[in-house]
Amino acid sequence: MATFQSLPGFREFYPEDCAARNGLFNAWRGAARRHGFVEYDAPVLEPLELFTEKSGEEIRNQLFEFEDKGGRKVALRPEMTPSLARLVAAQAGSLRKPVKWFSIGECFRYEKPQKGRGRSFYQLNADIIGEPGPGADAECIALLVETLRACGLDEGEFEVRISDRKLWFLFFAATGVEETKVPEALAIVDKWDRESKEELKKKLKPYFAAEIDAESIWLSVKNFRQDPMLWLQDVAVTHPHTDSLNVARARGEELKALDQNLKNLGVEKFYRFDFSIVRGLAYYTGFVFEAFQTVGTARALAGGGRYDNLLQRLGGVDLPAVGFGMGDMTTQDLLNELKRPLGGVDKPDVYLVIGSAAERATALSLVGKLRAAGVSVEYPLKDEKYGKQFKAADQVGAKLALILGPDEVAAAQIKIKDMRSGVEVVVPNDAALVANVREIAEKGLPA
């Protein structure tokens, strides 16, 4: 007989794993809803062009793509943003702005599985669409902080690092780099800490004027990474009346506004500005941010930023947007590392112990009434001895055992045993029992 295993990069969720996953989802949903975001979803299968339009043909190497039976080129979604753009574009005229939406969806990428990265994963996406000001950026960053805190993480265990691609564009413009070449230069900056000084100098030199030596280029970029506001002061001295200075100054004020909004929102202990963060994706247009764990392996937990031009490219509507994504695998890995699982397998309020076949009809009638009243109930599906039933009640973690034997049925009574304390009482088998048993399960029987 053939034996089957799951495909590489795909996970099974046994009840304990599923409970932990659902606990994570509940934390995500709770944080998003407290911030006024509403949930949406989209098809897991989309037209291939939706993803190649955003990321280019090279994305196809990472997609599960195929031709369906109708001859359409389709792909399993690798992310939610293109679908979000399509949904917003379809009803852009009737949606109240700003749009504050979130989703928890399964995504798929055909890449080599490794720790924290699978071919199938779940991702929280939260986006604000229709608001260009730093207030929206602050709201997204605050939600990211509170989402991680809702997962059980606290100060000193993670931080959000914030940067600004718009200031980087202004810096490169002031130093003579062509605007179309800035994304390529930023991709080099993104690898700053992973490459040698000589390698960085070699890669940056072609983007600058020939008369500027490589050492000066490297030093200028290095200083800007460390303190762009100091660069603004220097430009104010050397070029006091240029248009680019005025634009840069205005951006500096927006940076201060973002900082102040975040402080006012009470998350000042969880973020810092770090202009080495530039995010490798070219569609980001303004503030960008990433969350990193500061315990254990210091891995990235989430990332996002402003992408004001992407919705027009994907959906044909010119709306500013900012958002972030957070995957379940790295977050769950960190929670496991810290031994802080979220959620557990559900345990029944009641296990109904049935004396014999003669009492089963009465017992099943009680099961139906209890469940209709919102009580979770387990019971033996076939006739079994008392000992085996009590063992089952203990194994499933039932809070109470309700015992219905021939004596109880004859007297229209039922015996309640608190499985935690062992205390037993006998009460009438009536509507009052049904109404009160859930509260008894929560509080326990008095000794």
Cα–Cα distance for residue pair 189/164, rounded to 1 Å: 13
Cα–Cα distance for residue pair 4/255, rounded to 1 Å: 55
Per-residue confidence (pLDDT) for residue 33, from 0 to 100: 98
Per-residue confidence (pLDDT) for residue 230, from 0 to 100: 78
Per-residue confidence (pLDDT) for residue 183, from 0 to 100: 83
Per-residue confidence (pLDDT) for residue 15, from 0 to 100: 94
- What average pLDDT values come out for the chain (447 residues) when binned by 10 residues? 87 94 96 98 95 84 94 96 93 94 97 89 97 97 97 95 90 84 85 88 88 87 84 62 70 92 97 86 88 89 94 87 96 92 91 97 97 97 96 97 96 96 96 95 91
Rounded to two decimals, what is the model's pTM? 0.88
Locate tokens 């100060």: which residue? 155
Strand partners, 403: 353, 415
Query: What is the SS3 string spanning 167-189?
Result: HHHHHHHHCCCCHHHHHHHHHHH
Domains of the chain: 15-337 (3.30.930.10), 350-443 (3.40.50.800)
